[in-house]
Amino acid sequence: MRLGQNFLVDRNLLDVIERLAELRDSDVVLEVGGGPGLLSQRLAQRVGHLHVVELDASLEANLRGVLAAHEHVSIHIADALDLDLRALVPAPSKVVANLPYGVAATVILRTISELESVERWVVMVQREVGERFAAAPGSQAYGVPSVLAQLECEVRVLRPVSRQVFRPVPNVDSVLLGLVRRGGQRATPAVRRLVQDAFRHRRKALARSLDLARPGIREHARAELEQMGLVADVRAERLAPEQFVELARRLGA
């Protein structure tokens, strides 16, 4: 494994990914972590345009060889965390990828926030990451990724994935995670800041956690939480995503 990625080698799973992603010839797909190009090649055969992002420059020649017959493919040898996603032309409408474990959560949140054109995600992630994104309020896994993703998308774990479909075989379990953008609701910078501050000290009450980041706000936050029908000392993990939006509005965050 190089740069934190385990490569997908099972062709049967490609059929599953293709079906779940509901690929069409009008789609513009973003794939982060092209690797040896097995998924890339399948996507290129099904969609109108494919953006492949790969950090490892040693894989570039192989990727270009595998995809040489497809003129509608753009290969970006770059770090997905630094790449200007808004500059991708044409703009992606879907994200379909076997995401490198170390950047999976960040890539998902970046594409939700920065690529309003994306309507659907089908991505391979570590099981714990998938569970965090899909977690319900009040659960142990519920946190920042859960709130920010669920504000804008319907999120669910689509299916577990065997370790044996990767080379090298990883030491962790994986899942296919699906997101579908709902439209309307947006996680503004103020909401994102509030959510980050709220979960920074998970064992403390929400108002206290916010006060540690913004001294002097504790009593204001407690009062607003009560106005919302919540217990003043409620913890962050008890709030639904839309309640964070309302709290941010009330606090003028």
Within a domain: residue 139? yes
Same domain, 74 and 195: no
216 pLDDT higher than 80:
yes
Burial of 120 (0-12, 13-18, 19+ CB in 10 A): buried
Same domain, 156 and 233: no
Same domain, 23 and 114: yes
Tokens of 109: 């949140």
Please tell me which residue, 166 or 176, carries the higher pLDDT value: 176
Same domain, 146 and 90: yes
What is the reported pLDDT for 2?
42
Q: Of the candidates 139, 160, 181, which is a domain's last residue?
A: 181
What is the reported pLDDT for 4?
53
- pLDDT, average across residues 135-164: 96
CB 173 within 8 A of CB 126: yes
Q: What is the CATH number of the domain that holds 104?
A: 3.40.50.150
User: What pTM value is reported for the model?
Assistant: 0.93
Within a domain: residue 236? yes
163: pLDDT confidence band, cut at 50, 70 and 90?
confident
Within a domain: residue 76? yes
Same domain, 173 and 216: no
Share of the chain above pLDDT 90, in %: 86
Range of the domain at 228: 189-251
What is the reported pLDDT for 170?
83
What is the reported pLDDT for 1?
37
Within a domain: residue 83? yes
Mean pLDDT over the full length of the chain: 94
Q: For the residues of 132-192, what is the DSSP string, one character each?
A: HHHPPTTSTT-SHHHHHHHHHEEEEEEEEE-GGGEESPPSS-EEEEEEEE-SS----HHHH
Same domain, 69 and 145: yes
What is the reported pLDDT for 179?
98
